[in-house]
Amino acid sequence: MARSRNPAHRRDLLAAATRVFGAQGLGASTASIAEAAGVSTGTLFVHFDTKSALVNALYVELKSEMARVATEGVPLGAPPREQLRHMWDRWVAWCATQPEKRRALAHLGVAEDLTEDTRAATRQAYADIAALVRAIVESGPMHDAPLGFALALMSSITDATIDDLLQSPDPTGIRSALAFDAMWRALAG
C-alpha cells in the first residue's frame, strides 16, 4: 500500500533541500536532505521519485518565488524604467535576505538534469518580466540581441550587485542605484 503524501513533509523537504544544496551543492545526498527535514529517506521518495525530481521541483519553486516577489506590486501604468526599477529593488532585496535560497539556486541552475518541463515552468513564472524586458530592449541598443541574452545580462549585473552588497552593505542604496542605471543603459540606451 502506497504511503500518503503529507503536504507538511513536502514543504519541510523543500526547505531542507534548499539549505543542504545551498551548503553542500548538488552532490548532497538524499539521506542528508531527509535528515535535515526530520523525515526518513523513504518519506523523501514518497514525495519525489528521484533526486532529479527533487532538484527540478525545488528549482521551479525557488525561481517562481523569486519572480513572484520581483513582480509583486509593480506599478503597471508607470513607465517601463520605473516598473523595471521596482522589480530590481525587490529582486535585490529578496536575494540579499534569502542567501540560502540564492546559493541553492546557483547550484540548481547548473544541474544537468533540469528537464524541459522545468525550464518551461520557469519561463512561465518569468513571463511578465520577460515581456517588460523585451519591450525595453526592442527600442534600445540591444534590439537585435536575443531576449535570453538580455535577461542573462540583467541577471549577471544583479548577481554582481548582490555579491558586492553582501560583502559590503550599502545602507544608502547608492551602489544598487548605480548598478541599475548601468543595466538600464545597457538594455535601453
Nearest of 180, 129, 181, 171 to residue 151 by alpha carbon: 129
CATH of segment(s) 61-188: 1.10.357.10
**pLDDT at site 1:** 45
DSSP-assigned states of every residue in 100-138: HHHHHHHHHTT-TT--HHHHHHHHHHTHHHHHHHHHHHH
- Distance CA(9)–CA(147), nearest Å, equals 38
Please indicate, yes or no, whether the overall pTM of this predicted structure exceeds 0.85.
Answer: yes
Residues 20/33, Cβ–Cβ less than 8 Å: yes
CA 39 to chain centre: 26
**pLDDT at site 2:** 54
Nearest of 121, 114, 96, 56 to residue 179 by alpha carbon: 96
Note down pLDDT in tens along the chain; length 189 residues: 456 788 999 999 999 999 999 999 999 999 999 999 999 999 999 999 999 999 999 999 999 999 999 999 999 999 999 999 999 999 999 998 999 999 999 999 999 999 999 999 999 999 999 999 999 999 889 999 999 999 999 999 999 999 999 899 899 999 999 999 999 999 998
Domain residue spans of the chain:
1-49, 61-188
Identify the H or E element spanning 18.
helix 7-24
Residues 6+ away with beta carbon under 8 Å from 109:
59
CATH class of this structure's domain 1-49: mainly alpha
